[in-house]
A and B are shown apart, each in its own frame.
Chain A
Amino acid sequence: QAVLTQPPSVSAASGQTVTVPCSGSYSNVGENFVSWYQQLPGTAPKLLIYDNNKRPSGIPDRFSGSKSGTSATLAITGLQTGDEADYYCGTWDNRLSTGVFGGGTKLTVL
């Protein structure tokens, strides 16, 4: 049972926009930075967004992140078939003193 809550799957048509929500609590999302990871099949996760809304070098600006209170959101615009992957949110939980992740969301591009 993941500490952070994500929908198991989302889908949208090629070229459209999709959002992936991540819900937590004050002790994790509410108090700490949120990051997002993209995991293509059979590969290691890749950092997509850090510090709630910053993109590492090389990540297209089609990917963006935001945070409000105890929820965070990943948005992907101009969807491409290559974006089909699992997406995870992650942060630290001050009450548990552990790193925590969402259960992951599988993106399908129709």
Chain B
Amino acid sequence: QVLQQDSGPRLVTPSQTLSLTCTVSGDSITRGGYYLNWIRQHPGKGLEWIGNLYYGGSTNYSPSLKSRLSISVDPSQNQFSLTLRSVTAADTAVYFCARGPSYCGTGDCYTRYFQDWGQGTLVTVFS
């Protein structure tokens, strides 16, 4: 498994902060050419891209989450993390980390495809 997420479901209280970590194995997180992404899936729904980070470069966030979201990397642990502040019931979802090669076309640079996926973590926001 290239990407390993924290095991087990998470229970978060409304208005609190959600933090998730994804560990990259078998490769250095500092190796260039890859975007590190977070994607979520609400219960019974489709995939929603949340944001990504390019090591040594920029981060991109979904406009709908930008004010509450941070994605960071810890090279010493070969991990990258998601922090989502002020959560509500609408943030209840399975959160996946995903990695893919970068591509710079005529517009933005972006994740060309999501090659490797973590197993997912169910996060429930519940009072």
**Chain A residues proximal to chain B, CB less than 8 Å:** 2, 27, 31-33, 35, 37, 43-47, 50-51, 56, 88, 90, 92, 94, 96-104
Contacts of A37 in B (CB 8 A): 47, 114
**In the complex, are the beta carbons of B118 and A44 less than 8 A apart?**
yes
For residue B112, which residues in chain A have a CB less than 8 angstroms away from its CB? 33, 35, 50-51
- Chain B residues, CB < 8 A from A92: 107-108, 110-111
Instruction: Knowing A45-B96, A96-B63, say if A33 contacts B47 (CB, 8 Å).
Output: no
Interface size, B (range): 20 to 34
The reply to whether B119 and A98 contact each other, CB–CB distance below 8 Å, is no
With a cutoff of 8 Å between Cβ atoms, the chain B residues found around residue A102 in the complex are: 46
Q: Let me know if A45 and B110 touch, CB within 8 A.
A: no
Contacts of B106 on A, CB cut-off 8 Å?
31, 94
Does A47 lie within 8 Å of B63, measured CB to CB? no
Q: Are B46 and A101 within 8 A (Cβ)? A: yes
Chain B residues packing against A (C-beta within 8 Å): 37, 39, 46-49, 52, 60, 62-63, 96, 103, 105-108, 110-115, 117-120
Q: Are A33 and B113 in contact (CB under 8 A)?
A: yes
Give the chain B neighbours of A51 by CB distance below 8 A: 112-113
Given contacts A45-B96, A101-B47, 5 further A-B contacts (CB under 8 A): A46-B117, A50-B115, A88-B47, A90-B113, A92-B107
CB distance from B48 to the nearest CB of A (A): 7
CB contact between A98 and one of B60, B114, B115 (< 8 Å): that residue: B60
Contact B117 A45 (CB under 8 A): yes
Contact A104 B107 (CB under 8 A): no
Complex Cα distance A46/B69, Å? 25
Q: Give the distance in Å from the alpha carbon of A74 to the alpha carbon of B112 in the complex.
A: 17
State how many angstroms separate the Cβ of B121 from the closest Cβ of chain A: 11
Measured between alpha carbons, how far is A97 from B119 in the docked complex, in Å? 26
* Residue from B47, B49, B111 with most neighbouring chain A CB atoms (10 Å): B47
Find out whether the CB atom of B96 lies under 8 angstroms from the CB atom of A44.
yes
- Whether A99 contacts B37 by the Cβ 8 Å rule is yes
**B-chain residues with CB within 8 Å of residue A46 when the two chains form the complex:** 117
Measured CB to CB, the closest approach of chain A to B64, in angstroms, equals: 9
